[in-house]
Amino acid sequence: MVSADRLVAFAAMSLLLLVIPGPSVVFLIGRALAHGRRTALATVVGSAGGAYVLVVAVAFGVGAVVERSAAVFTVLKLAGAAYLVYLGVKALRQGTSLQAVVTGDGVTHSVARSLWEGFAVEVSNPKTIVFFVAVLPQFVDRSRGHEALQMLVLGLVFTVLGVVSDSVWGLAASTARDWFGRSPRRLSLVGGVGGLTMIGLGVAVAVTGRKE
């Protein structure tokens, strides 16, 4: 099992990573502002699932393939970037106004859809992929054996901390949404900025990361 000192050190490093907003956090804030608390929390759960899938992949060897292959890493990165751009364009072209969504007259996100979107963005998040591939294995004590189990435990710590951190972001953003909801003009601004932000984020994800 993982030693206490390694567990604490990994938790501290995970918190350092999590408090710096990345693609999944920016996406979450956009969903919270556009669709509210329910969508935000469902997105958080989906994101946690995506993160843990990456943990399992690294623990059982897939991470080594990503680490060695710039091509595989690039495919994952570009897939996530393309999905963010798609969501941004969709937000800009959405026929139903955010005012209708807030008042309950428009089409809202289902829980299943929010779970999937959170999962898809996180599982292709370069920031998380790099962290798990490059950092997670360093906290495994090979003298204790059961390396995969140790990674799964450490990954669970990261995922739990991520749920807490993302929930704070999502709840804060959905609370701010109430203020935006009192003005159709503010809501229109949220829709435009949210869509453009996701497009810009997708472009940024596509051009950053490993170059080799």
Q: What tens digit of pLDDT does each residue of 78-106 get?
A: 776 777 677 677 766 654 444 554 444 44
Q: What tens digit of pLDDT does each residue of 113-128 get?
A: 889 989 988 888 777 8
- Give the integer Cα–Cα distance in Å for 65 and 176: 42
Mean pLDDT over the full length of the chain: 76
Pick 203 or 87 by higher pLDDT: 203
pTM of the model: 0.70
- Give the integer Cα–Cα distance in Å for 17 and 10: 11
- Give the integer Cα–Cα distance in Å for 51 and 120: 10
User: In Å, what is the CA distance from 16 to each residue of 21, 22, 57, 108, 132?
Assistant: 10, 12, 23, 34, 14
State the residue range of the domain holding 59.
4-207
The predicted model gives 129-143 an average pLDDT of 78
CA atoms within 13 A of residue 111's CA, in its CB half-sphere: 4
Contact 67, 134 (CB under 8 A): yes
Sign of CA pseudo-dihedral 176, 179, 182, 187? negative
With tokens 């495994």, the residue in question is 140
- What does the DSSP assignment read for 69-82? -HHHHHHHHHHHHH
Task: Return the SS3 of 211.
Answer: coil
pLDDT at 129: 79
Query: Is residue 173 predicted with pLDDT exceeding 80?
Result: yes
Nearest to residue 174, comparing CAs of 19, 8, 28, 36? 36
Query: Looking at the domain assignment, is residue 212 inside a domain?
Result: no
pLDDT at 7: 87
Query: Is residue 154 predicted with pLDDT exceeding 50?
Result: yes
Contact 140, 150 (CB under 8 A): yes
Query: Looking at the domain assignment, is residue 182 inside a domain?
Result: yes
Contact 68, 138 (CB under 8 A): no
pLDDT at 82: 79
- Give the integer Cα–Cα distance in Å for 164 and 98: 27
Per-residue pLDDT band at 72 (split at 50, 70, 90): low
Pick 197 or 148 by higher pLDDT: 148
Query: Looking at the domain assignment, is residue 126 inside a domain?
Result: yes
| Domain count for the chain | 1
Contact 78, 206 (CB under 8 A): yes
Buried b (16+ CB within 10 A) or exposed e, 85-108: bebbeebeebeeebbbbbeeeeeb
Nearest to residue 34, comparing CAs of 85, 127, 107? 107
